[in-house]
Structure 1
Amino acid sequence: MPENSPQDGRVTRTATTESARHRSDLAEYERSDGRPVFVLTRTELKLLGIAGVGFFLDAYDLFVINPVATMLQYRLYGGNHLPPHLEGFVKAGANIGSVIGQFAFGYAADALGRKAVYGKELMLIILATILTMTTPTGSLSPDHCLIYLAIFRILLGIGVGGDYPMSASITSDRSNLRKRGTMLAYIFSNQGWGSFMGSLITIIVLACYKHVMDGKGEVHKVDGVWRIVVGVSLIPAFATLYHRLTLPESTRFIASQKLKHANNAAEEGDAIAAIKRAQAAEDIKMGNLTPSTNNSSEGSDKDKVEDEIDELGSEQAFSTAEEEEVAPPEVLVKKKAHFKDFIKYFSEWRHAKLLIGTCVTWFLLDIAFYGINLNQNVVLQQIGYDGSDGSPWNRLFKISTGNMIITALGFVPGYYASILTIEKLGRKWIQIQGFLMSALFLAIIAGLFNSLSKPAFIVNFALLQFFFNFGANTTTYCYPAEVFPTRYRAFAHGISAAAGKAGAIVSALAFNSLSKDIGTPAVLWIFFGCCVAGAGFTLLLPEVKGRDPDLILADEIRIKREERERRERL
Structure 2
Amino acid sequence: MSEHAVTSGRATPTPTTESAHYRSGLADVDQSGRPAFILTRTEIKLLGIAGVGFFLDAYDLFIINPVATMLQYRLYGGGHLPPNLEGFMKAGANIGSVIGQFAFGYAADALGRKAVYGKELMLIILATILTMTTPTGTLSPDNALIYLAVFRILLGIGVGGDYPMSASITSDRSNLRKRGTMLAYIFSNQGWGSFMGSLITIIVLAAYKGVMEGKGQTSKVDGVWRIVVGVSLVPAFGTLYQRLTLPESTRFLASQKLKNANAREEGDAIAELKRAQLGEDARMGNLNGPVDEKVGADAKGEEEPSSSSSLEDENAAPPEVLVKKKAHFSDFIKYFSNWKHGKMLLGTCMCWFLLDIAFYGINLNQNVVLQQIGYDGAEGTPWQRLFKISTGNMIVTALGFVPGYYASILTIEKLGRKWIQIQGFLMAALFLAILAGKFETLSKPAFIVCFALLQFFFNFGANTTTYCYPAEVFPTRFRATAHGVSAAAGKAGAIVSALAFNTLSKDIGTPACLWIFFGCCIAGAGFTLLLPEVRNRDPDLILAEEIKEAREAMERQTADVVAGR
Paired position in structure 1 for 2:165: 166
- Does the Cα contact within 8 Å between 2:255 and 2:540 map onto a contact in 1? no
User: Match of 1:26, as an amino acid?
Assistant: G
What's the CA shift for 1:133? 0.1
1:541 partner SS: coil
- Per-residue displacement from partner, 1:183-207 (whole Å, max 9, x unpaired)? 0000000000000000000000000
Mapped pair 1:498 → 2:505: no
Mapped pair 1:280 → 2:278: yes
Q: Which of 534, 545, 548 is the matching residue for 1:544?
A: 534
Q: What do you get for the CA RMSD once the two structures are aligned?
A: 2.5
Equivalent residues in 2 for 1:447-526, closer than 5 Å: 447-526=437-516
What's the CA shift for 1:251? 2.1
Paired position in structure 1 for 2:86: 87
Query: Partners in 1 of 2:473 and 2:170 — Cα distance?
Result: 14
Paired position in structure 2 for 1:4: none
Hey, which of these two has a bigger chunk of helix by percent?
1
- Does the Cα contact within 8 Å between 1:383 and 1:454 map onto a contact in 2? yes
Paired position in structure 2 for 1:49: 48
**Structure 1: 5+ residue runs without aligned partners?**
1-12, 320-335
Equivalent residues in 2 for 1:41-120, closer than 5 Å: 41-120=40-119
Paired position in structure 2 for 1:376: 366
Query: Partners in 2 of 1:553 and 1:538 — Cα distance?
Result: 22
Using the TM superposition, name which of 559-568 and 253-262 deviates more. Answer: 253-262
Equivalent residues in 2 for 1:99-498, closer than 5 Å: 99-257=98-256, 265-292=263-290, 294=292, 300-302=303-305, 313-314=320-321, 316-317=323-324, 319=325, 336-498=326-488
What's the CA shift for 1:33? 2.4
Relative to structure 1, the CA distance from residue 44 to residue 474 in structure 2 (aligned partners, 3 Å threshold; closer, same or farther) is: same
User: Match of 1:40, as an amino acid?
Assistant: L
- Per-residue displacement from partner, 1:258-299 (whole Å, max 9, x unpaired)? 79986x544544443333222111111100013446589799
- Does the Cα contact within 8 Å between 1:67 and 1:400 map onto a contact in 2? yes
What's the CA shift for 1:213? 0.2
- Per-residue displacement from partner, 1:216-256 (whole Å, max 9, x unpaired)? 10000000000000000000000000000000111222344
Relative to structure 1, the CA distance from residue 385 to residue 310 in structure 2 (aligned partners, 3 Å threshold; closer, same or farther) is: closer
Paired position in structure 2 for 1:332: none
What's the CA shift for 1:367? 0.2
Query: Partners in 2 of 1:525 and 1:311 — Cα distance?
Result: 54
Query: Partners in 2 of 1:347 and 1:258 — Cα distance?
Result: 22
What's the CA shift for 1:425? 0.3
User: Match of 2:278, as an amino acid?
Assistant: A
- Does the Cα contact within 8 Å between 2:263 and 2:551 map onto a contact in 1? no
Query: Partners in 1 of 2:50 and 2:553 — Cα distance?
Result: 42
Query: Partners in 1 of 2:520 and 2:391 — Cα distance?
Result: 29
User: Match of 1:567, as an amino acid?
Assistant: Q
1:248 partner SS: coil
Query: Partners in 2 of 1:115 and 1:418 — Cα distance?
Result: 29
What's the CA shift for 1:337? 2.4
Query: Partners in 2 of 1:478 and 1:64 — Cα distance?
Result: 24
Query: Partners in 2 of 1:202 and 1:163 — Cα distance?
Result: 24
Query: Partners in 1 of 2:121 and 2:465 — Cα distance?
Result: 24
- Per-residue displacement from partner, 1:305-334 (whole Å, max 9, x unpaired)? 9999877624543x4xxxxxxxxxxxxxxx
Paired position in structure 1 for 2:563: none
User: Match of 1:536, as an amino acid?
Assistant: G
Give the percent of matched residue pairs that are identical in Structure 1 and Structure 2: 79
2:445 partner SS: helix
Mapped pair 1:553 → 2:537: no
- Does the Cα contact within 8 Å between 2:101 and 2:484 map onto a contact in 1? yes
What's the CA shift for 1:103? 0.2
- Per-residue displacement from partner, 1:444-495 (whole Å, max 9, x unpaired)? 0000000000000000000000000000000000000000000100000000
Relative to structure 1, the CA distance from residue 447 to residue 280 in structure 2 (aligned partners, 3 Å threshold; closer, same or farther) is: same
Query: Partners in 2 of 1:442 and 1:23 — Cα distance?
Result: 37
Query: Partners in 2 of 1:459 and 1:101 — Cα distance?
Result: 36
Relative to structure 1, the CA distance from residue 136 to residue 430 in structure 2 (aligned partners, 3 Å threshold; closer, same or farther) is: same
Query: Partners in 2 of 1:28 and 1:551 — Cα distance?
Result: 12
2:439 partner SS: coil
Query: Partners in 2 of 1:556 and 1:531 — Cα distance?
Result: 34
Query: Partners in 1 of 2:441 and 2:156 — Cα distance?
Result: 38
User: Match of 1:55, as an amino acid?
Assistant: F
User: Match of 1:419, as an amino acid?
Assistant: I
Using the TM superposition, name which of 558-567 and 542-551 deviates more. Answer: 558-567
Query: Partners in 2 of 1:150 and 1:307 — Cα distance?
Result: 40
Mapped pair 1:15 → 2:13: no
Query: Partners in 2 of 1:449 and 1:308 — Cα distance?
Result: 57
- Does the Cα contact within 8 Å between 2:25 and 2:274 map onto a contact in 1? yes
Paired position in structure 1 for 2:35: 36
- Does the Cα contact within 8 Å between 1:367 and 1:530 map onto a contact in 2? yes
Relative to structure 1, the CA distance from residue 193 to residue 34 in structure 2 (aligned partners, 3 Å threshold; closer, same or farther) is: same
Relative to structure 1, the CA distance from residue 426 to residue 32 in structure 2 (aligned partners, 3 Å threshold; closer, same or farther) is: farther
User: Match of 1:403, as an amino acid?
Assistant: N
- Per-residue displacement from partner, 1:407-444 (whole Å, max 9, x unpaired)? 00000000000000000000000000000000000000
- Does the Cα contact within 8 Å between 1:129 and 1:234 map onto a contact in 2? yes
User: Match of 1:433, as an amino acid?
Assistant: Q
Relative to structure 1, the CA distance from residue 154 to residue 548 in structure 2 (aligned partners, 3 Å threshold; closer, same or farther) is: same
For these two proteins, the number of residue pairs brought into alignment is 539
Relative to structure 1, the CA distance from residue 276 to residue 444 in structure 2 (aligned partners, 3 Å threshold; closer, same or farther) is: same
Relative to structure 1, the CA distance from residue 72 to residue 121 in structure 2 (aligned partners, 3 Å threshold; closer, same or farther) is: same
What's the CA shift for 1:164? 0.1
Relative to structure 1, the CA distance from residue 25 to residue 117 in structure 2 (aligned partners, 3 Å threshold; closer, same or farther) is: closer
- Does the Cα contact within 8 Å between 2:258 and 2:544 map onto a contact in 1? no
- Does the Cα contact within 8 Å between 1:29 and 1:280 map onto a contact in 2? no
What's the CA shift for 1:27? 3.0
Relative to structure 1, the CA distance from residue 208 to residue 105 in structure 2 (aligned partners, 3 Å threshold; closer, same or farther) is: same
What's the CA shift for 1:24? 8.2
Query: Partners in 1 of 2:323 and 2:367 — Cα distance?
Result: 54
Paired position in structure 1 for 2:4: none
Query: Partners in 2 of 1:400 and 1:545 — Cα distance?
Result: 39
- Does the Cα contact within 8 Å between 2:50 and 2:170 map onto a contact in 1? yes
Relative to structure 1, the CA distance from residue 404 to residue 312 in structure 2 (aligned partners, 3 Å threshold; closer, same or farther) is: closer
Relative to structure 1, the CA distance from residue 267 to residue 487 in structure 2 (aligned partners, 3 Å threshold; closer, same or farther) is: closer
What's the CA shift for 1:146? 0.1
- Does the Cα contact within 8 Å between 1:29 and 1:279 map onto a contact in 2? no
**Structure 2: 5+ residue runs without aligned partners?**
1-7, 561-565
Using the TM superposition, name which of 559-568 and 23-32 deviates more. Answer: 23-32
